[in-house]
Amino acid sequence: MTQKVLVLGSGGREHALLEALSLSPQAPLLFVAPGNAGCYTLATGVDMKADDVQAVLDFVEAEDISFVVVGPEAPLVAGVVDALVAKGILVFGPSQAAAQLEASKHYAKQIMAKAGVPTAGYAYCKNAQEAETALSQFTAPYVIKEDGLAAGKGVTIAQTLAEAHEALARAEAKHSPVVIEEFLEGVELSLLAIADGTVAIPLISAQDFKRVGDNDTGENTGGMGAYAPVPFVDDALLATVQATILDPMMKTMQAEKAPFKGILYAGLMIHPNVKPFVVEFNVRFGDPETQVVLPLLQDRIDVLALLMDSAKGDLSSWQGVRALQEPTQKAVTVVVAAEGYPQAYATGQVIRLPDALPKGVNVFHAGTNRLPSGELVSVVGRVLTVTAVADSLFEARTQVYGAIEAIDFPQSFTRSDIALKASESTSLVG
């Protein structure tokens, strides 16, 4: 019987997920809600919000959907997985309780403490007064995080006390509690592990470029580009992460009666001769990491089968499958963003894509819409993620930047240094 699969979300991650699912030998019939213009080339668009739990339930029932894949965090936090499971529908992603690992930085810190997982020391502050008092226990640079979902933008690294006070004032204006943390030195690594409630298996490592400007300058964003695999990740590092982070987290979440299924995304800080520290957990595929991880997996494994086994709670047949961590090629993705992002930017900008793309290049749509006239327009800040798969990072980045040159989207920008250092060196670089 043909699988009917619904993907929830509308970004580049969801376009990449649909691409990987479309290549499954099971040849599923794909639906996406709400999706974007790129997603609609692979799936039937459904006009509903991804976090409208009742609408999702109604659609799944009406269309006889057999499997739901949740892309972003908002529907997870809204409890869409719990609601679908209660109706007997197979769904990829963690429960509402387990999704708190991303929704609340305070909860994540408490679980890490119980699990004995290395992470920065912190103070949880309910209001500005508590935060001002706690600040004196820390030294610059100050790491200040608003407690709640912030699409990667609720974190300030303040070099001075004055900047720290400004960040606290911004949080206070939103009545947001904050977490103040020790600053961790090192290079960041995104390790996305697929989990079935009991075990978590790491996927191909990736590095994300969070700052808006070249050489990691400017504000934090949702991510401006990524590459995979990361040259310094070897079996020894993976074994350490498994033993000191993934296994204890899986055990502790079980003990908390919130067993973790789906993607446990460990944002790690790696420093020579120091064990890896957790910067944050996300509870879903990373964006734009997915746009480099899946293209390296999809030709070698059945991504639909992998996600379904996670949802069924049994990844035992995937243990020891080297293709999950060891790609034969390399991938680079670069985000094409609207001028002004992550601050105010214009939408409705017309984009013209080239008719043909070189082999190995894929333009994942992150925020696009097609007008009745047929024109493609931008709808959010991160508009496209252009990915290339090649034999080397150098070749992949050359192809990506070449393809971006051929895109007509005047009021846009990219970072010019995605994967630059890694393409030149295999040592610890970021």
Residues of the shown chain interacting with ligand AMP in the complex, contacts defined by CB under 6 A: 120, 143, 145, 152, 155, 157, 181-184, 188, 210, 220, 267, 279-280
Residue 262 φ/ψ, nearest 5 degrees: 110, -145
Residue 367 interacts with which of ligand GLY, ligand AMP, none, CB < 5 to 8 Å by class: none
Looking only at residues 52 through 71 of this chain, which bind ligand GLY when binding is defined by CB under 6 A?
none
Binder to ligand GLY among 83, 287, 294, 407 (CB under 6 A)? 287
Least distance to ligand AMP, CB of residue 14, Å: 21
* Contact criterion met (CB below 8 Å) for 387 and 292: yes
| Closest to 13 in 3D by CA, of 390, 327, 382, 422 | 382
| Closest to 39 in 3D by CA, of 414, 369, 371 | 369
Tell me whether residue 68 or residue 98 sits nearer to ligand AMP (CB atom). Answer: 98
By CB under 6 A, residue 223 contacts ligand GLY: yes
389 alpha carbon, distance to own chain's centre? 19
Size of the site for ligand GLY (CB under 6 A): 7
Report DSSP letters for 208-277, one per residue.
E--EEETTTEEEE-S-SEEEES-TT--HHHHHHHIIIIIHHHHHHHHHTT---EEEEEEEEEEETTEEEE
Least distance to ligand GLY, CB of residue 289, Å: 6
Tell me whether residue 146 or residue 287 sits nearer to ligand GLY (CB atom). Answer: 287
Residue 143 interacts with which of ligand AMP, ligand GLY, none, CB < 5 to 8 Å by class: ligand AMP
Residue 226 φ/ψ, nearest 5 degrees: -160, 165
Least distance to ligand AMP, CB of residue 216, Å: 8
Looking only at residues 129 through 188 of this chain, which bind ligand GLY when binding is defined by CB under 6 A?
152
The rounded distance, in Å, linking the Cα atoms of 241 and 270 is: 11
Tell me whether residue 271 or residue 352 sits nearer to ligand AMP (CB atom). Answer: 271
Tell me whether residue 182 or residue 256 sits nearer to ligand AMP (CB atom). Answer: 182
The rounded distance, in Å, linking the Cα atoms of 399 and 388 is: 6
Tell me whether residue 271 or residue 312 sits nearer to ligand AMP (CB atom). Answer: 271
Least distance to ligand AMP, CB of residue 277, Å: 8
213 alpha carbon, distance to own chain's centre? 19
* Measured CA angle at 298 (ends 285, 231), to 5 deg: 70
By CB under 6 A, residue 94 contacts ligand GLY: no
Tell me whether residue 60 or residue 194 sits nearer to ligand GLY (CB atom). Answer: 194
Residue 394 interacts with which of ligand AMP, ligand GLY, none, CB < 5 to 8 Å by class: none
Q: What is the dihedral of CA 324, 330, 336, 341, to 10 degrees?
A: 60
Residue 417 interacts with which of ligand GLY, ligand AMP, none, CB < 5 to 8 Å by class: none
Least distance to ligand AMP, CB of residue 375, Å: 35
Report DSSP letters for 294-340, one per residue.
HHHHTTTS-HHHHHHHHHHT--GGGTT-GGGT--SSEEEEEEEEETT
Least distance to ligand GLY, CB of residue 86, Å: 28
The rounded distance, in Å, linking the Cα atoms of 59 and 62 is: 5
Least distance to ligand AMP, CB of residue 208, Å: 7
Tell me whether residue 182 or residue 247 sits nearer to ligand AMP (CB atom). Answer: 182
Least distance to ligand AMP, CB of residue 293, Å: 17
Residue 365 interacts with which of ligand AMP, ligand GLY, none, CB < 5 to 8 Å by class: none
* Contact criterion met (CB below 8 Å) for 190 and 209: no
User: At what angle are helices 247-255 and 105-115 packed, to 10 degrees?
Assistant: 110
Per-residue binder mask for ligand GLY (CB under 6 A), 201-220, x = binder = -------x------------
Tokens representing 95 are 């429960």
* Contact criterion met (CB below 8 Å) for 41 and 55: no
Q: Counting every residue, how long is the chain?
A: 430
Per-residue binder mask for ligand GLY (CB under 6 A), 291-320, x = binder = ------------------------------
Least distance to ligand AMP, CB of residue 257, Å: 25
Residue numbers at the binding site for ligand GLY (CB under 6 A): 152, 208, 223, 282, 286-287, 289
